[in-house]
Amino acid sequence: MTTELLRIAGLNAWYGESHILHGVDLSVSRGEVVTLLGRNGAGRTTTMRAIVGLTGSRSGSIQVAGQETIKLAPHHIARLGVGYCPEERGIFASLSAEENLMLPPVVAPSGMSVEEIYAMFPNLKERAGSPGTRLSGGEQQMLAVARILRTGAQLLLLDEISEGLAPVIVQKLAEMILALKARGYTIVLVEQNFRFAAPLADRFYVMEHGRIVRQFRQSELEQNMGMLQEYLGV
């Protein structure tokens, strides 16, 4: 039996006067990988930011492990085991790779140890003493994800992690997601790179103009390719 880790119902979100999300409904079960698909500006990143409380005002319901979070501050939401990896990565230039890794507080006892992280990301072990911005784009992306894994977060929100990276690095990120899924993590991906996301996700939601317009399972991917062509141009 699957249990829901994330349930969003009737979510509206604003940046200032701009009304971005219009009644978003979605759910994610424990251990699932779910991908939000859509064109730029469809509302996918805003949905991620709304989950962690980083939009302007928001209304509706966002439950994490059954707890309502719509009125909680971001630092309280993080302590429920939610980790957000933004598109801009947020690596600090003045800190070494290892200092960046150790920066966020541990929010739950289930976090990966530094040894486990270095086993999963051997490049980061080699670059532990390097300044954060001396790392390659791929290494910075791995560090941004690794930093969350140490905190004990079980729900990972990963925004455009493959963007601008070489195919060989993108393949490494795909292997990382499969390894994290095997460890029981729950992952929500926002991805422009459909070829990267397609084989990884258990389920897909398609967003358009701040709404969910379609959802389907991995097993239904083939029959939905025509629709995806229409919405995404894939």
Condensed to tens digits (0 to 9), the pLDDT of residues 187-228 reads 999 998 888 999 999 999 999 999 999 999 999 999 999 998
The string of DSSP codes covering the chain is: ---EEEEEEEEEEEETTEEEEEEEEEEEETT-EEEEE--TTSSHHHHHHHHTT-SSSEEEEEEETTEE-TTS-HHHHHTTTEEEE-TT----TTSBHHHHHH-SPP-STTPPPHHHHHHH-HHHHHTTTSBGGGS-HHHHHHHHHHHHHHHT-SEEEEESTTTT--HHHHHHHHHHHHHHHHTT-EEEEE-S-HHHHTTT-SEEEEEETTEEEEEEEGGGTGGGHHHHHHHH--
Cβ 191 vs Cβ 229: under 8 Å: no
Please tell me the predicted confidence (pLDDT) of residue 32. 97
- Confidence at 89, pLDDT banded by 50, 70, 90: confident
Question: What value does the mean pLDDT take over residues 39-54?
Answer: 95
**pLDDT above 90 for 64:** yes
Residue spans of the domains in the chain: they are 32-54+74-232
Please tell me the predicted confidence (pLDDT) of residue 75. 93
Question: Which architecture does CATH list for 32-54+74-232?
Answer: 3-Layer(aba) Sandwich (3.40)
Please tell me the predicted confidence (pLDDT) of residue 157. 98
Question: What value does the mean pLDDT take over residues 75-91?
Answer: 92
Please tell me the predicted confidence (pLDDT) of residue 108. 85
- Confidence at 2, pLDDT banded by 50, 70, 90: low
- Confidence at 1, pLDDT banded by 50, 70, 90: very low
At 93-129, the pLDDT tens digits run: 899 999 999 999 998 888 999 999 999 999 999 999 9
Computed over every residue of the chain, the mean pLDDT equals 93
| Segment of 38-42, 156-160, 165-169 carrying the highest mean pLDDT | 156-160
